[in-house]
Amino acid sequence: MEERELTDVPQHVAIIMDGNGRWAKARGLPRLAGHRAGTENLRPILEASAEFGIKILTIWAFSTENWRRPDEEVKGLLRILQRMLQRELKELDKQGVQLRHLGRLDRMPERLQRQVREAIEQTKDNTRIILNVAFDYGGRAEVVQAVQRLIGDGISAETVDEPLLSRYMYTAGQPDPDLIIRTSGELRTSGFMLWQSAYSEYYITPTFWPDFDREELYRALLAYGQRNRRFGGIKDDE
């Protein structure tokens, strides 16, 4: 597919990386093979995102509900994250990627918690692109935790407004996602970024995440550029 210049590149793109298990099943492979393939796909998509001019890429790697999966799969996913950090951190840092974590850390193994914190610290001054990794993340859990922290800080109810609550979300200080992509064709949000996605554009593709490539990303960005974003208002020509 010949790429023409994109006229409206979203600043913040979030991806629900769905379909790893079905990708593996279609090939007669175990589910973890699909998760490994999905992890390998992250670097080329991250590089393409930076080249297209995206400033923030958020990926949903593990939900709060994923703990319900079989122990073998959960442990495998934790190992994959650990190995990815060990293998990729140096190169990500070299390429100017700033790593951030969205979600809970306390339920991860202590060694993995340390790795995540060290990766965040090591890359904190990088400016080429921000990579938010949503791991042990749930949209409802995020809102609940934000409210709990508000109460814990002794903030009175009458002073709470949208900007204040936004500062208590995992994405505090970041713009809301302009575009949310979901792979594998599922037509639901699964609670992803409930607060931040109020005016996000959605793009659904039937492609499983391990097969989602630069061309697929380009098509999503092209479709986004054709949307008419009103944010609840109307345009002058309407």
Q: Catalytic positions, please? A: 18, 66
Q: How far apart are CA 203 and CA 86, in angstroms?
A: 32
57 phi, psi to nearest 5 deg: -120, 125
What is the side-by-side strand order in the sheet with 12-16? 97-102, 129-137, 56-63, 12-16, 179-182, 201-204
Residue in the block written with tokens 């999905």: 38
Q: How many CB atoms lie within 10 A of CB 16?
A: 24
Rounded alpha-carbon distances, angstroms, from residue 28 to 22, 32, 73, 160: 10, 12, 16, 52
AA identity, residue 207: T
Spatial contact of 59 and 18, defined as CB atoms under 8 Å apart: no
The CB density around residue 104, as the number of other CB atoms within 10 Å, is 16
Q: Name the residue with tokens 């210049």.
A: 5
By DSSP bridging, strand 12-16 and strand 56-63 are parallel
Helix (H) or strand (E) holding 12: strand 12-16
Q: What is the dihedral of CA 218, 221, 227, 232, to 10 degrees?
A: 160
